[in-house]
Homo-oligomer: A and B are copies of this chain.
């Protein structure tokens, strides 16, 4: 893609302050919440064209365009959001917040706790997808958006779209649930647990009070990201990308990065550990583990979906082994059984879980059609 041609251009984050107290699922309360967000496109007069875009585990509000320089890395969903793209900013008003507990401006572990005037750190309460959605509802109120035309996201973002449909059936017309799952598997939880243990057992973690101590558990966060990265890519994608290619011509019988995949992972881990907050990462993995809308319905997903009024699009990708197409089928089958308006689509893609980030043609067309059609 040529940055200069098809992206939305320069964008600027803005923020909202919510004076009201937010009661969390844990029973704890947060007040003076700041929520950072970006918007793309224009809100129409009857406010019927607003789309909420929900980020995944390590995402933030910067979903499209660039901040300063047109050559910088574009927003995480730039492939799908922009003029004439899958989420067409000529037609829709796109809202992309940094979620509660985040580390890019929205109130989170790196913010000041108004009760103590100290950085929250590990004292920031554990939050859930429901808390995220409730906080996004405050943002909708703030923006005077009564009903979202759509709520859409991939992975953990899809879980938010699903929860919007369940919890606010009258405030959402369409839900895009992409590369997602109705709850994590034991294996998914296991990978998250390794990531958490990597962070927590890093001596620089300081029981979470690392900012106070002037340190940061960078090695732990780096490892967490490395593990995560393996689960985002398919074996096939890794084969295509790296094969068993060596950085140099021959084996060097040492522990430096020898295979291309090793230096790639180290690089990704290094970058991430410099730019992300460890406590936020812990919170977000926990939020994934806890997501289970069927839980209060004795595990019955069909019952959990009873309240849904939105039209739902469920998209999965063949090479995704983190949230495989089987997991999407669990969602769409339960929606069908609950007599909901659901369409589902499995896309051939070799990018693994990351596939939801790439504007594959059939995928783009499906989203366009889904957003554009009327019931």
A residues engaging B (CB < 8 A)? 26, 28, 125-126, 183-187, 189-191, 193-194, 196-198, 200-201, 203, 219, 222-223, 226-227, 229-230, 233, 235, 238-239, 241-244, 251, 253-255, 257-259, 261-262, 265-266, 269, 282, 286, 289-290, 292, 321
Interface centre among A197, A241, A292, by most B CB within 10 Å?
A197
Q: A189 touching B251 by the CB < 8 A rule?
A: no
Q: B219 touching A201 by the CB < 8 A rule?
A: yes
Ranked 7 nearest A-B pairs via Cβ: A186-B238, A126-B253, A26-B253, A201-B219, A187-B235, A186-B242, A186-B261
30 contacts between A and B (CB under 8 A): A26-B253, A126-B253, A183-B244, A185-B235, A185-B238, A186-B239, A186-B242, A187-B235, A187-B238, A187-B239, A189-B259, A190-B226, A190-B229, A190-B230, A190-B261, A190-B262, A190-B265, A193-B259, A193-B265, A193-B266, A194-B226, A194-B227, A194-B230, A194-B265, A197-B226, A198-B198, A198-B223, A203-B203, A223-B223, A227-B227
Q: A187 touching B223 by the CB < 8 A rule?
A: no
Given A186-B261, A230-B191, A235-B185, CB of A244 within 8 Å of CB of B197: no
In the assembled complex, the CB of A184 is this many whole angstroms from the nearest CB of chain B, namely: 7
How many angstroms from the CA of A142 to the CA of B4 in the assembled complex? 71
Q: A235 touching B197 by the CB < 8 A rule?
A: no
Q: A184 touching B244 by the CB < 8 A rule?
A: yes
In the assembled complex, the CB of A271 is this many whole angstroms from the nearest CB of chain B, namely: 15
Q: A235 touching B194 by the CB < 8 A rule?
A: no
Q: A262 touching B189 by the CB < 8 A rule?
A: yes
How many angstroms from the CA of A254 to the CA of B283 in the assembled complex? 9
Q: Main SS of chain A's interface residues?
A: helix
Report B-chain residues with C-beta under 8 Å of the C-beta of A244: 183-186, 189, 292
How many angstroms from the CA of A269 to the CA of B193 in the assembled complex? 12
Closest to A227 in B: B194
Report B-chain residues with C-beta under 8 Å of the C-beta of A261: 186, 189-190, 193
How many angstroms from the CA of A223 to the CA of B266 in the assembled complex? 16
Report B-chain residues with C-beta under 8 Å of the C-beta of A189: 244, 259, 261-262
In the assembled complex, the CB of A51 is this many whole angstroms from the nearest CB of chain B, namely: 31
Report B-chain residues with C-beta under 8 Å of the C-beta of A266: 193, 197
How many angstroms from the CA of A358 to the CA of B178 in the assembled complex? 38
Q: B238 touching A193 by the CB < 8 A rule?
A: no
How many angstroms from the CA of A243 to the CA of B258 in the assembled complex? 38
How many angstroms from the CA of A197 to the CA of B263 in the assembled complex? 11
How many angstroms from the CA of A69 to the CA of B226 in the assembled complex? 42
Closest to A290 in B: B251
Report B-chain residues with C-beta under 8 Å of the C-beta of A227: 194, 227
Q: B183 touching A197 by the CB < 8 A rule?
A: no
How many angstroms from the CA of A186 to the CA of B263 in the assembled complex? 12
Interface centre among A193, A261, A282, A292, by most B CB within 10 Å?
A193
Report B-chain residues with C-beta under 8 Å of the C-beta of A269: 197
Q: B186 touching A259 by the CB < 8 A rule?
A: yes
Closest to A245 in B: B186
How many angstroms from the CA of A197 to the CA of B229 in the assembled complex? 14
Closest to A204 in B: B203
Q: A230 touching B187 by the CB < 8 A rule?
A: yes
Q: B194 touching A255 by the CB < 8 A rule?
A: no
Closest to A251 in B: B290
Cβ-defined partner of A193 (8 Å) among B219, B226, B282: B226
Given A254-B126, A261-B190, A292-B244, CB of A197 within 8 Å of CB of B185: no
Given A190-B261, A255-B282, A289-B259, CB of A222 within 8 Å of CB of B241: no
